[in-house]
Amino acid sequence: MNLVWHRADLRLHDNPALSEALKAGPAVGLVVFDPNILQNTTPRRRAWFYQNVAALREGYMRRGGSLLVRTGLPWEVLPRVVGELGVKGVFAVRNSTPYARFRDRKVQEALPGRVRWLEGQYIHEPGSILKPDGGPYTVFTPFSKRWWAAQAPVLLEAPPRFPGTTLPPEYDLGTTPEEAPDIPLPPAGEEAALGALEVFLRDKLPHYHQTRDGLAGEGVSRLSYYFTLGVLSPRLAARRALEVGGEGARKWVNELCWRDFSGDLLYHRPQMLNSAFDPRWDDLPWNDDRDLFAAWLQGYTGIPVVDACMRELRATGFLSNRGRMVVAQFAVKLALLPWQQCERAFRDLLLDGDNASNLQGWHWAGGLGVDAAPYFRVFNLITQAETHDPGGAWLRRWVPESDGRPYPYKTPVLDLELARKRYLAAAEKIAKKAGAGISS
């Protein structure tokens, strides 16, 4: 018997761990509810995880297989299950966040020589796209050139059946908890994700390059919450988009390249969890103002575009990329709120919340040294709304007080012009002192 330990790969299609386990013989699946992850997140994100685990279990059962679930620390749970079932090999898709690497080292130590790690969370694994001199990239464009030139991964079919996986009838498969989310959740499971991918490819992909930037997030795939839990394979999604082809497809697959770039950045620089990618930016005059933080987080700053973003995020768990850039810029550059707290609170609200992509997004939008984003670019929040929500329908929906107009609907928590000048003055000093304004 072999064990497939599912983590951020809650799928049967294109799953290299599952495929290799089945080559080695009969296999059962396992999901561990790790308190180090689940106790530190929000009900909506736990509920989303549990629902996708339940859908995965149904997928196993329909094919005559079994998915076990257990609660506890993986380095304690896995040896127990291995002992109980006489497991020969454990197969898992590699994860590369700092906690995942710590966890997997401990599991490996507990089961020496028994675990095989496989690729599959990304299109190209963090650490695999390197500069000609062998070092990691810090700027997206050269990374993306190498990424596009790399050989596409071989895709794998979902197994039609799980042959010969008979567990003792009294063996407890475990129960997946149910948790009430505070928002309506999208349909869970890989069938829903694969269906949503096909609808996106048919209806939106051809125009994606022209429509992706709207604040309402109508021209985009909204597949991120499936990618984050690995319910949908990014490798399959990229392949399908490129089969459809065209400018929209190229642009969309390039966004999946941004996802890989994010994973790569965190893999090489785990310190970006707490400190600015370019540590010079840690010296900005951060303003730990609790009321300002609460106004930002709750969506009551008085600035329509910021409030619409945060209210939409709170109500749905999703926000467009443009909206994410707007609120992160506001928090970091204008409000000078400690970015680590904002990044964390923001991630807790996102259904797609992901360490690597969120950190990259906050660093990029906040000018903290990722990529070649210049520190001196500060969004005009009125123009952002006018350009990316022409007509104001999205603003009106989320901030009815604004009546769809981008101007403050009450005295804002910040004087935007003063805040911009304050930030630029501080940022220029830092940039001058260090001799450059952007990372390279």
Ligand X SMILES: Cc1cc2nc3c(=O)[nH]c(=O)nc-3n(C[C@H](O)[C@H](O)[C@H](O)COP(=O)(O)OP(=O)(O)OC[C@H]3O[C@@H](n4cnc5c(N)ncnc54)[C@H](O)[C@@H]3O)c2cc1C
Judged by the rule CB under 6 A, the positions of this chain that interact with ligand X are 212, 220-224, 227-228, 252, 255-256, 258-259, 262, 320-321, 324-325, 328, 347, 350, 352-354, 357-358, 360-362, 365
* 339 in Cβ contact with 430 (< 8 Å): no
Give residue 409's Cα distance to chain centre.
Answer: 33
Q: At what angle do helices 190-203 and 234-244 cross, to 10 degrees?
A: 20
Which residue has the CB atom at the shortest distance from ligand X? 361
Closest distance between ligand X and the C-beta of residue 360, in Å? Answer: 6
Return the number of the residue (81 or 359) whose C-beta is nearest ligand X.
359
Token pair recorded at residue 290: 């609790």
With 0-12 / 13-18 / 19 or more C-beta atoms within 10 angstroms meaning exposed / middle / buried, residue 433 is: exposed
Three-class SS string for 313-333?
HHHHCCCCHHHHHHHHHHHHH
89-93 vs 115-118, strand pairing mode? parallel
Question: Helix (H, G, I), strand (E, B), or coil: what is residue 338?
Answer: coil
Return the number of the residue (20 or 125) whose C-beta is nearest ligand X.
125
CB neighbours of 1 closer than 8 A, spacing ≥ 6? 25, 26, 27, 28, 85, 86, 87, 88, 165
If one counts every other C-beta atom within 10 angstroms of the C-beta of residue 287, the result is 13
Token pair recorded at residue 400: 């009815």
Q: Which residues are annotated as a binding site for FAD?
A: 208, 252, 352-354
Return the number of the residue (32 or 232) whose C-beta is nearest ligand X.
232
Q: What is the largest CA-CA distance in the chain?
A: 70
Token pair recorded at residue 325: 């850039």
Closest distance between ligand X and the C-beta of residue 329, in Å? Answer: 9
Closest distance between ligand X and the C-beta of residue 136, in Å? Answer: 17
Closest distance between ligand X and the C-beta of residue 363, in Å? Answer: 9
Return the number of the residue (19 or 262) whose C-beta is nearest ligand X.
262
Return the number of the residue (9 or 352) whose C-beta is nearest ligand X.
352
Closest distance between ligand X and the C-beta of residue 330, in Å? Answer: 11
If one counts every other C-beta atom within 10 angstroms of the C-beta of residue 289, the result is 15
What values do phi and psi take at 242, rounded to 5? -70, -30
Return the number of the residue (15 or 321) whose C-beta is nearest ligand X.
321
Q: What DSSP string describes 35-50? A: HHHHTTS-HHHHHHHH
Closest distance between ligand X and the C-beta of residue 297, in Å? Answer: 14
Question: Helix (H, G, I), strand (E, B), or coil: what is residue 411?
Answer: coil
Closest distance between ligand X and the C-beta of residue 177, in Å? Answer: 23
Return the number of the residue (164 or 195) whose C-beta is nearest ligand X.
195
Return the number of the residue (78 or 229) whose C-beta is nearest ligand X.
229
If one counts every other C-beta atom within 10 angstroms of the C-beta of residue 109, the result is 10
Closest distance between ligand X and the C-beta of residue 312, in Å? Answer: 12
Question: Helix (H, G, I), strand (E, B), or coil: what is residue 85?
Answer: helix
Q: Which residues are annotated as a binding site?
A: 208, 252, 352-354
